[in-house]
Amino acid sequence: MKFRTRSSEEPEINLIPFIDVLLVILIFLMLTTTYSKFTELQLTLPAANADAAKDRPHEVIIAIAADGRYAVNQEQVEGRGVAALTAAIRAAAPDKDSTVIISADAQTTQQAVITALEAARREGLVHITFAAQSGSDE
């Protein structure tokens, strides 16, 4: 019996169909992908052009420092939590009709301002405003 000898040729891998499939996939992805450009919001922040401060006996001024310390009507508040700030507001507010003025440093975190809003809400004060710089810097 005569057996055939195997040929020593190595099989070839044809890359042309593989490249064709990859190009089709690439073209499909390029056509179906939406390119969205992230834009920044151009904001012009409001500036107050207030006259001389009026005498308002029912004001509670909450000052917030850049590092998160609070002062209510120029009295330093011990602690930085909502409970400590609520107690200080309770002592400073003569009635529920008082106006809360939040004066925060430009570098204050948002959480510190939210804490002040939450303390005023817990105390039942609904008249809340924010202090702003004078508009003469333009």
Does pLDDT of 35 surpass 90?
A: no
pLDDT in tens, 73-120: 888 998 888 999 999 998 888 888 888 999 888 888 899 999 999 999
Does this model's pTM top 0.85?
no
15's tokens? 């890359």
Q: Mind listing the domains of the chain with CATH numbers?
A: 59-132 (3.30.420.270)
pLDDT in tens, 117-129: 999 999 888 888 8
Q: Give the residue with greater pLDDT, 46 vs 126.
A: 126
Residue 34 burial by Cβ neighbours in a 10 Å radius (0-12, 13-18, 19+): exposed
Q: In what order do the strands lie in the sheet with 99-104?
A: 75-76, 70-72, 59-64, 99-104, 127-130
Q: Are 74 and 63 in contact (CB under 8 A)?
A: yes
Q: What was the pLDDT predicted at 2?
A: 67
131's tokens? 């202090």
Instruction: Give the integer Cα–Cα distance in Å for 58 and 126.
Output: 13
